[in-house]
Amino acid sequence: MIDAQAGEEPRLAPAGEPRLTVVSGPSGVGKSSVLAEVRRQAPEVYFSVSATTRAPRAGEIDGEHYHFVSVAEFERMIAAGEMLEHARYAGNLYGTPRGPVERALAAGQPAVLEIELQGARQVRRAMPEANLVMLVPPSWDELVSRLTGRGTDASAVVRQRLDTAREELDAAAEFDTTVVNSDVQAATRELIALIAGRDRETG
């Protein structure tokens, strides 16, 4: 957690206020796996559903895993100011619809975004009080093994995602907290504490 220096605005939301938590990290590190467990154990948390122009993978449900939209619809949403952040990743567009996140926070619900690095940087600028968490793998070899072992992407896409992963891991210092995903349950416990703002509690 980063404390405010004398004369500077505090960067993280004050204790007691619902917090926006951004979870980022390289493709294949286990963001979806850990957040599925967070969702199960902390049903009070609002999880943003992103819009994407990527084609659905087997088993992905429109409106649940993503809002699967056309490029034209995605561009309309940007032009209408409906995106909190957006980015191009591995040839597709991804973005966070702004309204549902703002409504959840206004209603007192902690909210979580699972987004890549460029988007996390945009949220940092737009909402400096957000807590940025990077999920990292226990080792590079383990990341490669998880991404290839998942079997959802062609080898060229895996290579592209691994190239981006190096850049993402190099940016870990920009995040407030780094959580190592060696074990899904342990990472889930750490994330739930951060989402609930337990790191802001004193005494």
Ligand X SMILES: Nc1nc2c(ncn2[C@@H]2O[C@H](COP(=O)(O)O)[C@@H](O)[C@H]2O)c(=O)[nH]1
Interacting partner of 95 out of ligand X, ligand ATP, none (Cβ under 5 to 8 A depending on kind): ligand X
In the block, tokens 């943003």 appear at 48
Of these, 46, 47, 74, 89, which contacts ligand X (CB under 6 A)? 89
Binding to ligand X (CB under 6 A) within 2-21 occurs at none
As a whole number of angstroms, the distance between CA 195 and CA 110 comes to 7
Interacting partner of 149 out of ligand ATP, ligand X, none (Cβ under 5 to 8 A depending on kind): ligand ATP
The span of 1-9, 85-93, 140-148, 172-180 binding ligand X (CB under 6 A) equals 85-93
Question: Which one, 82 or 199, has the nearer CB to ligand X?
Answer: 82
The residues binding ligand X (CB under 6 A) are 27, 31, 50, 54, 85, 87, 89, 94-96, 114-116, 118-119
